[in-house]
Amino acid sequence: MLHTNLSVNENNHLTIAGADTVSLAREYGTPLMVLDEERIKSNMLAYVSAMKKHFGDNATPFYASKAFSCKYLYRLASETGMGIDIVSSGELYTAKAAGFDLSLSCFHGNNKTDADIVYALENGVGHFVVDNLSELDRIDEIAAEMGKTPSVLLRLSPGIDPHTFAAVVTGSVDCKFGIAIETSQAEEALRYALTKKNISVDGIHAHIGSQIFDVEPFCDEAKIMVGFLSDMKKKLCFDCKILNLGGGFGVKYVEGQPNINVESFISEIAKYVKNEVEKCGISYPKIYMEPGRSIVADTCLTLYTVGGTKEIPGFKNYVSVDGGMSDNPRYALYGSEYTVCLASRMADEKSFTCTVAGRCCESGDLIQENVLLPKPNRGDILAVLVTGAYNYSMASNYNRIPRPAVVAVTKDGVKTVIRRESFEDIIKNDL
């Protein structure tokens, strides 16, 4: 199977972490997202231990919670010793409700509102990752009014093409995020930031993109960032305390894609950081990273109940399911690849090539095309694998379809971690 936590049991059903997906679908209803708790923890701990081993004891991974923000995941991040990357007051609120220690958080985003800044300061956010100078000015002013001196990292763009899909490239010079090194604006921004009295400029940050399978772009990023620090040490006497290298490690969604070994990637990147730091003669900063997708993606699958099947002779076949772009908009948005299987008849002969369509009133509402399945019957359970990252967090109520329930398979049994949305939930803000 695609990942080691997936298997097929004697009933010919797909299992995740040993749990029968068809039984889960019957018990909890569909669409249903099923998480594997042990795999989430081991993905988190892989980063915690590899970073400490290769970057030093004070290195910390921050879970990029935009991948999947909910109280349950903030609690697991806290248990495993991770920090968190948050990008809105809503994520901050969720983390706070989960009891997360917000001093271990980085507040991101390219447009923090005044209200976000106040809220983050009131709640003791660990670091602001500052995207632009107007934001820097506002953080400094609001901090002065509130009598605080927040820690700031400057978000820089190192000008790297990480060879991934365009919508998730974030470190190029012309991207909407950060301040470019290449244009000397990063140097100007740092010079300016260091004149501010109510912030502590503790470091720099970059995130080059997402779903990246090569280690080279990360090594290039490390080189460029340390090179910048060396330059700034000479020009501005800037001593960097924190170097945040962002996230972006790729995850296997379909056969043929590699399974990244997190520890070997980190060990390779650490070599570059250490070499460059030694070469430049600057002091070794604390290293942060921000994995999102590689923490949660392969810990989850989505179960749907098959509805109608439509054959258009000479054209294509459709299989419709009871969810769609409302719980997984990634195929519609990016043409993302997924592995789809008929969870209720795993070993049956696959002879039906089809497009798996959602139930939304829109022809672009597809989950995947050219899928080979046993010919599905109404009531069969269909599984889409590797749906932990950017699925629930990007879900919507389009067509007033309630968001799915999320359950976790744990050592002590199955538990609901997000209740299925109800129709009452959907109208609760309508007046």
Active site residues: 361
Binding mask 167-186 for ligand LLP (x = CB under 6 A): -x-x----------------
Using CA atoms, how far apart are residues 291 and 79, in angstroms rounded to an integer? 16
Of the pair 30, 170, the CB lying nearest ligand LLP is at 170
Let me know: does 24 contact 303? Beta carbons within 8 Å: yes
Shortest Cβ 87–ligand LLP spacing (Å): 7
Applying CB under 6 A, among 5, 60, 132, 210 the residue interacting with ligand LLP is 210
Q: Which of 66, 126, 166 is nearest to 391 (CA)?
A: 66
Interface of this chain with ligand LLP, residues 350 to 389, rule: CB under 6 A: 389
Stretch touching ligand LLP by CB under 6 A, among 47-55, 120-128, 241-249, 355-363: 241-249
Tokens at 342, concatenated: 């008929």
Using CA atoms, how far apart are residues 84 and 285, in angstroms rounded to an integer? 19
Stretch touching ligand LLP by CB under 6 A, among 8-16, 219-227, 291-299, 311-319: 291-299
Stretch touching ligand LLP by CB under 6 A, among 45-53, 75-83, 245-253, 358-366: 245-253
Using CA atoms, how far apart are residues 242 and 153, in angstroms rounded to an integer? 8
The footprint of ligand LLP on this chain (CB under 6 A) covers a number of residues equal to: 21
Query: Counting contacts by CB under 6 A, is residue 207 touching ligand LLP?
Result: yes
Query: Counting contacts by CB under 6 A, is residue 64 touching ligand LLP?
Result: yes
Query: Counting contacts by CB under 6 A, is residue 294 touching ligand LLP?
Result: yes
Stretch touching ligand LLP by CB under 6 A, among 60-68, 269-277, 400-408, 412-420: 60-68
**Residue 404: phi, psi to the nearest 5?**
-70, 170
Query: Counting contacts by CB under 6 A, is residue 323 touching ligand LLP?
Result: no
DSSP letters spanning 221-280: HHHHHHHHHHHHHHHH-----EEE----B----STTS----HHHHHHHHHHHHHHHHHHH
Of the pair 31, 178, the CB lying nearest ligand LLP is at 178
Query: Counting contacts by CB under 6 A, is residue 108 touching ligand LLP?
Result: yes
DSSP letters spanning 281-340: TPPPPEEEE--SHHHHGGGEEEEEEEEEEEE-TTS-EEEEES--TTT--HHHHH-----E
Applying CB under 6 A, among 54, 112, 196, 330 the residue interacting with ligand LLP is 330
Residues in the chain: 431
Angle between helices 71-80 and 37-55 (to 10 degrees): 40
Using CA atoms, how far apart are residues 56 and 407, in angstroms rounded to an integer? 36
Indicate the residue type of 347: A
Let me know: does 385 contact 2? Beta carbons within 8 Å: yes
Shortest Cβ 168–ligand LLP spacing (Å): 5
Pairing label, strands 242-244, 286-289: parallel
Place of tokens 């497009």: 355
Shortest Cβ 227–ligand LLP spacing (Å): 21
**Residue 200: phi, psi to the nearest 5?**
-110, 115
Stretch touching ligand LLP by CB under 6 A, among 252-260, 285-293, 302-310, 367-375: 285-293
Using CA atoms, how far apart are residues 340 and 315, in angstroms rounded to an integer? 21
Applying CB under 6 A, among 31, 292, 358, 404 the residue interacting with ligand LLP is 292
Applying CB under 6 A, among 61, 285, 291, 376 the residue interacting with ligand LLP is 291
Shortest Cβ 67–ligand LLP spacing (Å): 5
Residues facing 20 on adjacent strands: 15
Shortest Cβ 268–ligand LLP spacing (Å): 17
Stretch touching ligand LLP by CB under 6 A, among 286-294, 350-358, 373-381, 421-429: 286-294
Applying CB under 6 A, among 246, 285, 323, 388 the residue interacting with ligand LLP is 246
Of the pair 28, 390, the CB lying nearest ligand LLP is at 390
Please, where are the H alpha helices in 29-88?
37-55, 71-80
List of residues contacting ligand LLP (CB under 6 A): 64, 66-67, 85, 108, 168, 170, 207, 210, 246-249, 290-294, 330, 389-390
